[in-house]
Structure 1
């Protein structure tokens, strides 16, 4: 019964508004965290590609069975080690960013659940208000009917 709801004021409306703003804020922060996680994933992929390329070059040089260039091999291994260390650091940063993103997502879910519970509560309160208004209308109709019967009997 969602008819005329004049006179209905939901006491928790300010909380609903603040919760809606909080949901928007969390969603914005989540979007930023998702973008940062994607950027870190791309950096990890690029470093993994560099590592694979250098590894493939070293393997190709060894298979060519040319005279081994120890200094070149050492530089290549040092470079591989450097790329691997960078990759590990980026993977750690990526995991941290993903954990932060997941925590923010859980906050968003909790905020949405709270907002939904407030919406359900508001609808329940509005339903109670509608019943109260209907009851008052019925009582007014009964009173009018009783007055008319009394008026007809006296006239």
Structure 2
């Protein structure tokens, strides 16, 4: 377990929520917490992140999709601003565990009403940015959406 002290709890964030995110709990939960900025989010007190070389696995539902390397912030920016850091502590904990073990599922990008849209993977994107300082990662994209996603998002 990492040994670090928590920074001061940001204004407007309860100590209970802050500690729940820092310590982690992988049990099912229907709670969702909204952070204003990534700096308002607590550090991880449960895991170390020994590598930035992550093994990306394609989710079973995305078999046959094309992998495209996408800028994480531009992918997150496809969501409404108030939803980007709206996180579930149980999902957050599982994503951190997977990243600490050196792997995660690729996020999934699609197109809705002609615009690139993050279909699945908000927790993974935020965790990769916060704990691994990654800027780009592979995304699974349905073949019919590849051109639109490439045209609208920063890709690598």
Which structure features the higher share of strand residues?
2
When the two structures are superposed, what TM-score results if normalisation uses the length of structure 1?
0.18
Higher helix share: 1
In our comparison, the structure showing a higher alpha carbon Rg is: 1
Q: TM-score, normalised by structure 2?
A: 0.18
Higher relative contact order structure (alpha carbons within 8 Å, sequence separation ≥ 6): 1
